[in-house]
Amino acid sequence: MKITDALLGEHAMLYALFTDIRRQIDEDRSIEQLQVAVEILENQLWTHAQMEENHLFPALEPHLGQMGPLRVMKSEHQEIDRLLGAAKAETNPEQLKSVVDELIMLAYSHFRKEEMVLFGMTRQVLSEDEQENLGNIWANERGVTIDGAGCPSQAAG
Ligand SMILES: [Fe+2]
Ligand SMILES: [Fe+2]
C-alpha cells in the first residue's frame, strides 16, 4: 500500500474526530469534557503529523526542496500545535470554543491542501517502490498488517 493511501485513511479518521468535537461544542458540553476531546484530537493530530514530518517530507525534500509546499505544510503543523496549546490552556468555555473552531478550520484547510496538491506531487515525484516502502514504514509503526495472505481455500482458480 502506498503512503498516500495510508495518510488519506488517517485524514478520514481525523475528519470524524473534527465532526465529533464540533458536535460536542454544539451540545454545550462542559469545559472538562471539551478538554478531553481536545487532548484526544491533539494525540491523533500529532501522531499523523509526525508520520509526515519523519517519513514523507524527507523523502520529498530532494525533489521539492525545503521551501515551497513542504515549508508551508510544516509551518501549518506548527500553527496547529500552537492552537492546540492555546485550547488546552483555555479556561473560558466561549474562548475555548472559538479556539477549537479556528483549529478545526485550519486543520481542514491543511488536509485539503495535502490531498489536492502535496499527495498528488508525491505520486508524481516518488517511484511506486518508494511510495510502497513508505507505506510499509507506516504499517510497521502503526502495527497494521497490509499483506495478509487470506484463506487458502478461498483462493481463486
Ligand atoms: Fe500535515
Ligand atoms: Fe496529513
pTM: 0.93
Taken in order of first residue, the domains within the chain and their CATH numbers are 3-141 (1.20.120)
Calculate how far, in angstroms, residue 115's C-alpha sits from the geometric centre of ligand 1: 10
What is the DSSP annotation of 25-45?
A: HHTT--HHHHHHHHHHHHHHH
The position carrying cell 491543511 is: 110
Using CA atoms of 77, 81, 82, 86 in order, give the dihedral in degrees to the nearest 10: 150
- Judge whether 14 and 48 are in contact, CB under 8 Å: yes
Report pLDDT for 157. Answer: 55
3-class SS at 118? helix
What was the pLDDT predicted at 138? 98
Instruction: State how far the Cα of 42 lies from the Cα of 15, in Å rounded to an integer.
Output: 13
What element of type H or E holds 15? Answer: helix 3-26
List, for residues 110-136, the tens digit of each pLDDT value. 999 999 999 999 999 999 999 999 999
CA of 9 to the centre of ligand 2 (A): 10
Give the per-residue pLDDT at 155: 63
Distance CA 136, CA 151 (A): 22
The predicted pLDDT at position 156 comes to 59
Q: Which regions of the chain are under pLDDT 50? A: none
pLDDT at position 147 is 87
User: What residues flank ion ligand 2 with Cβ within 5 A?
Assistant: 114
Q: Which of 134, 5, 142 is nearest to 58 (CA)?
A: 134
User: Distance from the CA of 24 to the center of ligand 1, in angstroms?
Assistant: 24
At 93, the amino acid letter reads P
The predicted structure's pLDDT at residue 66: 81
The rounded distance, in Å, linking the Cα atoms of 4 and 139 is 12
